[in-house]
Chain A
Amino acid sequence: MPAQDNDLQLKSTNDEVRDNSGLVSRLSSYILPISIIALVVLIAVLVFVPMIKSAISYNDEYKTVHAKVESMEKLQSQLRTLDPTVVQTDLNNARTVIPQVLNTTRFLTYIIHSRDKYSLSSATVGGNDTSAAQGAVNSSISMSGSQEHILEFLDAFYNTSPYILSIGGITLSGDEENWTVKFSLSGYYINNGDLRADVDLSAPFVNYTNYRDVVDLFAQKAEQIASGVDY
């Protein structure tokens, strides 16, 4: 009987060992897949996601830079159509008509010349300078004469003046023979500064040749001023 007891004990031990080894083998057979899956998830989170984010940001930045490149290319093509000599000539004409500095003396000289031309007498002619980058020289004018001459004088400012002038606050009073006109007259200037100053390439570029009619008018007025006609 001791042999049978030993056999039973051995059998139960063998069963236990068999059960335990089955569990261990099951676990061991799944450790590798689980660890690989965990590794994949870790790599995806720590490596793939940042790389994909950086790729997206590179792409977005590329689109922005590419848009800038396109605008620069467009600007370059527009600038290539401008002849520097012609541009300089047009600028000189524009500066003659709307100068960088318009001092009172030059301005009033033109007014007095016009007054004399239309046989008017002036009671008051005065003006003041301003020092802003863009501004106006204002002049208060009072003149007397016939209504016809006064209207011709005012028409000259509007149509044939070589300078860009504006008239404001007109008071015209009189009877049949003698009329008096009082008004304020403004001449303008623009002081842009140095041509070699840095330019802002991001600002929209407007080609001045799109306004050829105004440029031609400037050329005409500049020629008037230079030749002294109506001046």
Chain B
Amino acid sequence: MINNTQGDTIENQAENQMMNQAEGRVPAGGNNSKKDPAEVESVILTPEEEEKQEEVKAHADEIASISEGIDLVPLVTDVQAQKEDKKIKVNVSIIVSAFILIVVSFAIIIVNVSFKNRLADEKEYLSVLTDDIRKNYTDVINSNNQIIDRIDLYKEIKSTQYATDEVVEFFNDCASQVGNVSITRYDISANSKISIRGTAANLQDVSKLWYILCNNNNLTGITLTSMGKGVDKVSFAFSGTLIVDNFL
């Protein structure tokens, strides 16, 4: 039995009483529970004692409510609740970011590997193709290239060659248009420069020939390089450039 000591608070007293009740030492109604009802009814309390008894009863009720369980966790305030929400959101975003990171990692790895494999396959195919061509078509390629070389040489030569007989016939035609003109020398160089020498009956024939040669689509840059008057004939020399395309 726990004895009250001086100086105990009302809470301590009530607590002690509760503990005693729990241990069964003191009946629920207090120490007076086994007393004879007649003896109880006979106790008359003064107002001060009644007031004191009510206070004790109130405290006992309070302690009785506490006796259901002492909540050691304090209530969460609004600020704390907001902080907790914020933490939850941050953690969720981190989880989502980590998931995205994993997905992106897989995607990059897969793309890298697929590109690498695609390149390797293409290189292998190129190697097979090249080997096949070298093995089966080397002769054909070389023969083709040798023929092409000769074709190119032929075309190059033909582009610069002209029919000499047609050139001479052309000048002879020009001379015959004038009449009494005789061309005695043709000098045709490799770069299509031409000079002619001849004789005419008179200066008028020379000028006619000059006019015909200047107004002709087969020649350019005709100049009279020399002229000499003899006893019965006039000698002349003209130079110019052949338009080779007209004589190919």
Q: Are B101 and A201 in contact (CB under 8 A)?
A: no
Tell me which residues from 157 to 195 in chain B have a Cβ below 8 Å from any Cβ of chain A: 157, 160-165, 168-169, 182, 184-190
Chain A proximity of B219: nearest CB distance (Å): 16
Please classify how large the interface on chain B is, using the bins under 10, 10 to 19, 20 to 34, 35 or more: 35 or more
In the assembled complex, the CB of A64 is this many whole angstroms from the nearest CB of chain B, namely 10
B45 CB to nearest chain A CB (Å): 35
Decide yes or no whether B90 CB sits under 8 A from chain A.
Answer: yes
**Inter-chain contacts of B119 with A (CB < 8 A):** 58, 61-62, 65
**Residues in chain B near residue A82, CB distance under 8 A:** 140, 144
Cα A199 to Cα B160 with chains together (Å): 31
Given A36-B97, A43-B101, A198-B138, the answer on whether A55 and B111 have CB atoms closer than 8 Å is yes
Whether A168 lies near B126 (C-beta < 8 A) is no
B133 CB contact (under 8 Å) in A43, A72, A174, A190: A72
Contact with A along B98-127 (1 / 0, CB 8 A): 100100110011011001101100110110
| B153 touches A (CB below 8 Å) | yes
Complex-state Cα separation, A164 to B155, whole angstroms = 10
Binary contact readout A140-167 vs B (1 if CB under 8 angstroms, 0 otherwise) = 0000000100011011001100001111
A226 proximal to B (CB < 8 A)? no
A168 and B134 form a contact (CB under 8 A) = no
Q: Does A8 contact B (CB under 8 A)?
A: no
In the bound assembly, the distance between CA atoms of A175 and B190 in angstroms comes to 24
One of B101, B148, B186 near A170 (C-beta < 8 A): B186
Given A62-B118, A208-B147; A169-B190 close (CB under 8 Å): yes
A196 and B142 contact, Cβ closer than 8 Å, known pairs A51-B108, A69-B122, A206-B148: yes
A84 and B139 alpha carbons, distance in the complex (Å)? 8
Given A91-B147, A190-B150, A205-B141, also A65-B108 (CB < 8 A)? no
Q: Across the interface, do A158 and B163 meet the contact criterion of CB distance under 8 Å?
A: yes
Tell me the minimal C-beta distance from B17 to chain A in angstroms: 25
Q: Is the interface of A mostly helix, strand, loop or mixed?
A: helix
Which one, A9-17, A106-114, A210-218, is touching chain B?
A: A210-218
A207 and B118 contact, Cβ closer than 8 Å, known pairs A33-B90, A76-B129, A173-B186 = no
Q: Which residues of chain A have C-beta atoms less than 8 A from B112's C-beta?
A: 51-52, 54-55, 58
Which A residues lie within 8 Å of B142 (CB)? 192, 194-197, 199
Select from chain A the residue with minimum beta-carbon distance to B139.
Answer: A195
B140 touches A79 (CB 8 A): yes
Contacts of B105 in A (CB 8 A): 43, 47-48
Cβ of A123 under 8 Å from chain B: no
CB-contact partner of B185 in A36, A165, A173, under 8 A: A173
The answer to whether A102 has its CB under 8 Å from any CB of chain B is: no
Cβ contact within 8 Å between B129 and A40: no
Contact call A87/B140, Cβ cutoff below 8 A? yes
Contact partner, B129, options A69, A172, A205, Cβ 8 Å: A69
Inside 8 A of B130's CB, which chain A residues have their CB?
Answer: 72, 201
CA distance in complex: A114, B28 (Å): 156
B115→A62 contact, CB < 8 A: yes
A-B contacts besides A29-B87, A198-B138, A201-B134, 18 pairs, CB < 8 Å: A29-B90, A33-B91, A33-B94, A48-B104, A55-B108, A69-B122, A76-B133, A76-B137, A79-B141, A134-B149, A151-B164, A155-B163, A164-B153, A164-B154, A166-B157, A170-B186, A215-B147, A217-B154
Please list 14 pairs of residues, one from A and one from B, whose beta carbons are closer than 8 Å in the complex, sorted by A's number: A47-B105, A52-B112, A58-B115, A65-B119, A65-B123, A82-B140, A91-B143, A95-B150, A147-B168, A152-B165, A158-B162, A164-B153, A165-B157, A195-B146
Q: Please list the residues of chain A having a beta carbon within 8 angstroms of any beta carbon in chain B.
A: 29-30, 32-33, 36-37, 40, 43, 47-48, 51-52, 54-55, 58-59, 61-62, 65-66, 68-69, 72-73, 75-76, 79, 82, 84, 87-88, 90-91, 94-95, 97-98, 134, 147, 151-152, 154-155, 158-159, 164-176, 188, 190, 192, 194-199, 201, 205-208, 211, 214-215, 217-218
Binding site for A on B (CB under 8 A): 87, 90-91, 94, 97-98, 101, 104-105, 108-109, 111-112, 115-116, 118-119, 122-123, 125-126, 129-130, 132-134, 137-151, 153-155, 157, 160-165, 168-169, 182, 184-190
